[in-house]
A = this chain, B = another copy of it.
């Protein structure tokens, strides 16, 4: 918050490149890298290029309203900060900076189990901010209960259960940089919190991913039974699992491939969004993250049925470039560009966006 503004904050096109110069290579490898050789990570952005926005003209768009509701809660725009671990590694402002920037702009942020700051501090610095708590299911069930109770007390309004990390994937770039998700990185939510396991180990002639069973739909039922918070499942990529999410009482789905950091080879999130919306969109709220970079991406995702889009890496880029101030600036830029794009598309509100806004194409 102190210190002069950087002479020129980068444009959205330049943000990643500038951020790469601001963080240690080890952390950059962690932020930037995906699983395997990053096919899924790359595909996330590319998938958006296969849709064009069909603008309508000569409609009075002098006033544009981006507000929407997410699980009943009013937010300033259908854009939220996706859950990401260890903001403190990127900039000392960490999650507190993100929380202040989001609260100020009435934007939802989802905070990770593995936040650098304790969830109570996050809640304190941005008390008015819409905030959801992301849970990495802990092997010991009581540990989940303790985290959820803290989240409820701290005013988090939903529980986002990550379902695509029964084990951490092999991430070449992260490994090349030397970053390890393990006990050596401080976790704000306390020493009792465990990051996901790093990979299978041989156990005789089979492979073991952990001592305890990995989370199942039964786990979801159990989590629902111990919290009054709506449960959102993050990491669903198929019509079949969307149906099960409805059956098991989820309030929402975040269509996500973990930013291409888990199963390399998984589809781009935009590729499967339509089938998930078709299957479950009338029963629960479907959001999407992965590869959202510009206003046009926001509009395409909304047109394909998403309630809102999650932003991942760009928020860390902004944090890297100028801390809390960078995040504030970034969110403002993306929101304004979205308002502008909505107007240019001939729509005045998020509610006016439907599938007639977009058309598919094969190339780009």
Contacts and interface: CB of A to CB of B under 8 A. Distances in A.
A contact face: mostly helix, strand, loop, or mixed? loop
A296 B58 contact: no
A76 B207 CA distance: 11
A37 interface: yes
Contacts of A51: 265
A363 B362 contact: yes
Contact of A55 (B170, B266, B344): B266
A241 interface: yes
Which 5 A/B pairs are nearest by Cβ-Cβ distance? A265-B296, A11-B172, A207-B339, A263-B344, A52-B267
A42 to B, nearest CB: 8
A110 B214 CA distance: 36
Contact of A265 (B37, B336, B341): B341
Contacts of A215: 58
A169 to B, nearest CB: 6
A264 B214 CA distance: 43
A196 to B, nearest CB: 11
A56 interface: yes
A210 interface: yes
Contacts of A205: 65, 67, 76, 106
A220 interface: yes
A128 to B, nearest CB: 14
A208 B61 CA distance: 8
A315 interface: no
Contact of A203 (B63, B173, B262, B340): B63
A147 interface: no
B53 A359 contact: no
Given A170-B336, A172-B14, A207-B336, A236 B57 contact: yes
A135 B13 CA distance: 31
A364 B39 contact: yes
A14 B176 contact: yes
A344 B200 CA distance: 11
Interface string A338-352: 011101110000000
B207 A64 contact: yes
A58 B220 contact: yes
A240 B56 contact: yes
A199 interface: yes
Interface string A144-174: 0000000000000000000110110110110
A206 B67 contact: yes
A209 to B, nearest CB: 5
